[in-house]
Structure 1
Amino acid sequence: MGSTQETFFVSHGTPMMTLEEAKPARKFLESWREKVCSNKPRAILVISAHWETEEPTVNDVERNETIYDFYGFPERMYKFKYPAPGSPELAKRIQDLLRSSGFQGANIDKKRGLDHGAWVPLMFMYPEADIPVCQLSVQSHLDGTYHYKLGQALAPLKEEGVLIVGSGSATHPSNGTPPCYDGVAPWAAEFDHWLETALTSGRYEEVNQCETKAPNWKLAHRWAEHFYPLHVALGAAGANSKAELIHNSWDDGIMSYGSYKFTSS
């Protein structure tokens, strides 16, 4: 298991994906090893939208518990398990990389398992749950540039066989946003087009300043925690990396499953 030159951002969407077998985003994740990333990584680092902390924190456990951080769903969803091993060695390596890059508050959590931003996509990408997984938190009170720099600090992990995956959502409107059952809502389509164009054109500084540069920012992301995992994956890939849209589909015409691969040059 050698180095990897690719990092990823996946839109994990609703946990109902665990039951909806025909969902296009689920089929995309199920094809991961065949069509997206055939090399088995030594370990996986997931930056999940569903773990928010004041300072960057990585979990350090021997075996990951499955966290059901949702409510009101069918009972079957609370029976899924993704008992991937943890990696204390990787957790310490992540802490060291962050601290050496100036993130002095980088912490280790010795209890937390994997929330659904991590285990839902992973159960389709790597269903055997035999690859060590660490999860890193986001700091949603900060900004895209901060998370890009966080990713830059983690870039050496690629040379060590660690797969870096940001897990969030290309658009994640508030619960009160009206759905669009006749195609895609214009505001969502505009934001999604901006994101794809900016990324694939290499306009990373514009993406880092999404809070002021993106069209319909507050409609697309009422809160930013689902977008910042993208910046971590992008930063880890490097300034000269190439971005590629590898999947897109929609829920209710407002939630984009846009997912990207970043290949380091």
Structure 2
Amino acid sequence: MMSSLKMGALKETFYISHGSPTLSIDDSLPARPFLLSFREKVYPEKPNCILVISAHWETSEPAVNVINGPNETIHDFYGFPKPMYQLKYPAPGAPELAKKVKTLLEEAGFKRVHEDKKRGLDHGAWVPLMLMYPEADIPVCQLSVQTNMDANHHYKVGRALASLKKEGVLIIGSGSATHNLRTMQGTNDTVASWALEFDNWLKESLLTGRFDK
């Protein structure tokens, strides 16, 4: 019930670089112990629901997954170790949260917000969540991103949904500021100039309120 979400307002949102899908099984990756200790060291409050905006769900217009019952675990990666395809994260869907997300976006001026009643959680959602909340007992909803739109569009999406924190919803962005695995293969640890340039632009834009118009 959405009425129950009004208990326990949350103060923070988080952006998580989920890295390679092997984060789900590889203890050598630095992000893994960080996420495993998330509740203990970073954010002990337990959310009523979780909204994940994952870089691995791309649509031309905003869409939410409206799932009754457990979310399907989507193994949207190829050529990885077999055990990874056997992992499941059957967190319950959050259909009422999904409806609220749609309503808030429409009230903010987004003309079309679609409902997807079949799509589960992609690895940008379930891989970090299975480490952060391994019990899979918190309802989860996903919202898509629009790669055909600019940063201002997505900033306005975030601003429209900020009030959900007051209802105990943990909002998580999952992806990476830059992403090009092909160029990373066989290179050293030096940051690519284009990646550094974009990262600096993003930081400056957020700090100066570039999108807050």
Give the alignment's TM-score, normalised by structure 2. Answer: 0.89
2:4 corresponding residue in structure 1: none
Q: Which runs of 5+ in 1 are unaligned?
A: 209-238, 240-265
Equivalent positions of 1:1-265 (< 5 A) are 1-62=7-68, 63-181=70-188, 183-187=189-193, 190-191=196-197, 194=200, 198=204, 202-205=207-210, 208=211
Secondary structure, counterpart of 1:46 in structure 2:
strand
CA, structure 1 residues 42+184, in 2 after alignment: closer, same or farther (shift >3 Å)? same
Distance 1:2 1:175 in 2: 43
The structural deviation recorded for 1:202 is 1.9
Structure 1 vs Structure 2: percent identity of aligned residues?
Answer: 56
Q: In 2 relative to 1, CA 204–120 (structure 1 residues): closer, same or farther, beyond 3 Å?
A: farther
Tell me the secondary structure at the aligned position of residue 114 of structure 1.
Answer: coil
Query: So what's the TM-score if we normalise by structure 1?
Result: 0.72
Distance in 1 separating the partners of 2:168 and 2:14: 14
Letter in 2 for 1:140: T
User: Displacement of 1:107 after TM fit?
Assistant: 1.2
Higher relative contact order (CA 8 A, sep 6+): 2
What's the C-alpha RMSD, in Å, of the aligned pairs?
Answer: 2.0
CA contact (8 A) 2:178 2:195 kept: no
* 1:260 matched residue in structure 2: none
- The alpha carbon displacement at 1:186 in A equals 4.7
C-alpha contact 1:171 1:188 (8 A) present in aligned 2: no
Deviation at 1:174, TM superposition (A): 4.9
Q: Which runs of 5+ in 2 are unaligned?
A: 1-6
User: How many residues are paired up?
Assistant: 205
Post-superposition offset of 1:5: 1.5
